[in-house]
Amino acid sequence: MPESSRENTSWVDEKDARIIYFLRPRARRISIKMDTAGRGVAVTVPGHARRLKDAQKFVHEKYDWILVQLETMPVAQPFVDGGEVLFRGELYKLYSPSLRGHPSFNKELGHLIVPAHPDTLAGRTKRFLIREAREALTNCTHVHASTLGKQVDKISVRDTSSRWGSCVSRKSGTHISYSWRLVCAPPFVLDYVAAHECAHLVHADHSKNFWGLCDELVDTVKPAKAWLRKHGDKLHAVGAEN
Domain boundaries, the chain: 10-71, 84-237
| pTM for this entry | 0.83
Which residues have C-beta within 8 Å of that of residue 150, sequence separation ≥ 6?
Answer: 174, 198, 201, 202
Which residues have C-beta within 8 Å of that of residue 37, sequence separation ≥ 6?
Answer: 161, 162, 236
pLDDT at 8: 64
pLDDT at 98: 86
Q: Are strands 154-158 and 173-179 parallel, antiparallel or unpaired?
A: parallel
pLDDT truncated to tens, each residue of the chain (242 aa)?
A: 333 344 469 999 999 999 999 999 999 999 999 888 788 999 999 988 889 999 999 999 999 999 999 988 899 999 999 999 999 999 999 999 888 899 999 999 999 999 999 999 999 999 999 999 999 999 999 999 999 999 999 999 999 888 999 999 888 899 999 999 999 999 999 999 999 999 999 999 999 999 999 999 999 999 999 999 999 999 999 998 87
pLDDT at 3: 37
pLDDT at 214: 98
**What is the domain class of 84-237 according to CATH?**
alpha beta
Distance CA 173, CA 154 (A): 8
